[in-house]
Amino acid sequence: MLSKESGGPETLKIEEQPDPTPGKGEVLVAVKACAINFPDVLIIEDKYQFKPERPFAPGGEISGVVEAVGEGVTGFTPGDRVLGVIGHGGLAGKVAVAADALYALPDGRSFEDGAALLLTYATTIHALRDRGKLKQGDTLLILGAAGGVGLAAVELGKAFGATVVAAVSSEEKAAAAKAAGADRTIIYPRAPFDKAQSREVANLFKEAVGPNGADVIYDPVGGDYCEPALRAIAWEGRYLVVGFPAGIPKLPLNLTLLKSCDVCGVFWGAFAARDPQANAAHVDHLFRLWAEDAIAPNVTEVFPFADGGKAIAKMAARQAVGKLVVRVAE
């Protein structure tokens, strides 16, 4: 499923291409499932940090079966079930992947769940542990708490002993966050906000997190939700900037002074590249939590390969609850 020109999901085209050949240090994976994430919306519109040369297939998170290995690869053999985050290329029958981007898919776990695990949970464990310094007893406010990274933050927040307050835009999403373990849920109105509405939303957040404020705020939404949430932060709290589907906000810096708080950017991909050992330790931790059923990817809809563009469109419209996955092959 190729992006041959900049644009929305309607510009994607399904075409036959020759099978790739794994190079040195690479593995050829027969893709079974590909999870859809917000970067897939951005990358086909040339709005993502990385701009692959066209034509390319979107889809940065996959699971599948090893078909062949390139020179120097020792950790995988044909027939192994694997999962990994590859940046792009996942909406394809086969893809050549750097071996160090792949992990073994545990026995008994589906390809759909495997494809839906790593990006959201690895982003979130890095955000909460490394950037947010989340500890037991903290209050964690999560915006967009029913999306893929939002539900991951709910589950990991509870696993790390936090009180989790999940902020969402509908009753359906509140139910999903509650089912994932949120202690409290709040439903905020749809942006944009004028000043009076912004104050009302801030009061919603303040009431939900309590008089001491939120020790950590996890924000994968941005836009007009940022300032009201920041007004509910605790003294020396940590505000985690994860994404901007609602737009890139402008922040009044006087608020950071008044609360002596930190605003922390979260760029998991760059972190993983710069500190692979620390990232590997996080991934090991995630696999342990998965084995203990403390976390579980919430795949709410599986699309056939021909409808991969529809999955990306649903993500773009911010209608997704949990994870959307495209089944590339049986």
Confidence at 62, pLDDT banded by 50, 70, 90: very high
> Which domains does the chain possess?
2-117+297-327 (3.90.180.10), 120-269 (3.40.50.720)
Q: Given a cut of 90, is residue 245 above it in pLDDT?
A: no
What is the per-residue pLDDT for 252? 92
The model's pLDDT over 298-316, given as tens digits with 9 standing for 90+, comes to 999 999 999 999 999 999 9
Whether 50 has a pLDDT exceeding 90, the answer reads no
Asked if the model's pLDDT at residue 170 lies above 90, the reply is yes
pLDDT of residue 293 exceeding 90, the answer is: yes
Using pLDDT thresholds of 50, 70 and 90, give the confidence band for residue 280: very high
- Amino acid (one-letter) located at 207: E
pLDDT given for residue 76 in this prediction = 96
- Asked if pLDDT for residue 248 goes beyond 90, the answer is yes
pLDDT score for 321:
87
Share of the chain above pLDDT 70, in %: 100
| pLDDT at residue 29 in the model | 98
Model confidence at 40: pLDDT above 90: yes
Does residue 27 surpass a pLDDT of 90?
A: yes
Is residue 129 within 8 A of residue 138, CB to CB? The reply is no
pLDDT in tens, 205-241: 999 999 999 999 999 999 999 999 999 999 999 999 9
* pLDDT for the residue numbered 299: 95
Asked if the model's pLDDT at residue 320 lies above 90, the reply is no
What's the pLDDT band for 326 if we cut at 50, 70, 90?
Answer: very high
> What pLDDT digit, counting tens, does each position of 128-143 carry?
999 999 999 999 999 9
Q: In angstroms, rounded to a whole number, what is the distance separating the alpha carbons of residues 326 and 111?
A: 10
Round the average pLDDT of the chain to a whole number and report it.
95
For residue 282, the model assigns a pLDDT of 97
